[in-house]
């Protein structure tokens, strides 16, 4: 990871209503703007399982790697790639901030060990 202290991955799909609502709200963009220490990755899964594009196939592989079972799924990792927090619930900017606070506490606890 670059200079980012956290990687935040949001797995979603074009047909997912909660994913569309999160996108329309702009919460992820506002969250990223407020936290330059975050590397935000938005991963869209295949809309057409029969004929996925190359990018969608890579996204599906990444979802398998991270054991994503439902969407939306948001995962916070630290700079070492260790998962700090995961949710598969719809959220908003306030929810993202709450998750960030919790992930920050877990990261700080890990660093003091």
Model confidence over 70-99: pLDDT tens digits? 999 999 999 999 999 999 988 999 999 999
The reply to whether 12 falls in a domain is yes
What does the pLDDT read at residue 47? Answer: 66
Q: What CATH number is attached to the domain comprising 88?
A: 3.40.30.10
Question: CA 84 to CA 65: how far, in whole Å?
Answer: 16
Whether residue 63 is contained in a domain is answered as: yes
Tell me the per-residue pLDDT of 15-24, one tens digit each, with 9 for 90 and over. 899 999 999 9
Tell me, yes or no, whether 104 lies in a domain.
yes
Whether residue 1 is contained in a domain is answered as: no
Between 50 and 40, name the one with better pLDDT.
Answer: 40
What's the total number of domains in the chain? 1
* Domain encompassing residue 99: 6-111
Q: Confirm whether 37 is domain-assigned.
A: yes
* CA–CA gap between residue 19 and residue 33 (Å, rounded): 19
In the numeric block, the tokens 């004929």 are attached to 51
- Whole-model pTM? 0.88
In a domain, 34, yes or no: yes
26 Rama sector, left if φ>0, alpha if ψ -120 to 50, beta otherwise: left
Q: Does 44 reside within a domain?
A: yes
d(CA 84, CA 59): 21
């Amino acid at each position: 990871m670059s200079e980012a202290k956290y990687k935040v991955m949001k797995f979603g799909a074009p047909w997912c209503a909660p994913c569309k609502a999160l996108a329309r709200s702009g919460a992820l963009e506002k969250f990223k703007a407020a936290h330059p220490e975050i590397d935000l990755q938005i991963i869209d899964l295949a809309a057409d399982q029969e004929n996925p594009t190359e990018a969608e196939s890579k996204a599906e592989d990444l979802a398998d790697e991270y054991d994503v079972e439902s969407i939306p799924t948001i995962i916070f990792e630290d700079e070492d790639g260790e998962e700090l927090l995961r949710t598969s619930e719809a959220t908003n900017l306030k929810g993202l901030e709450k998750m960030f606070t919790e992930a920050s506490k877990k990261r700080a606890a890990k660093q003091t060990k």
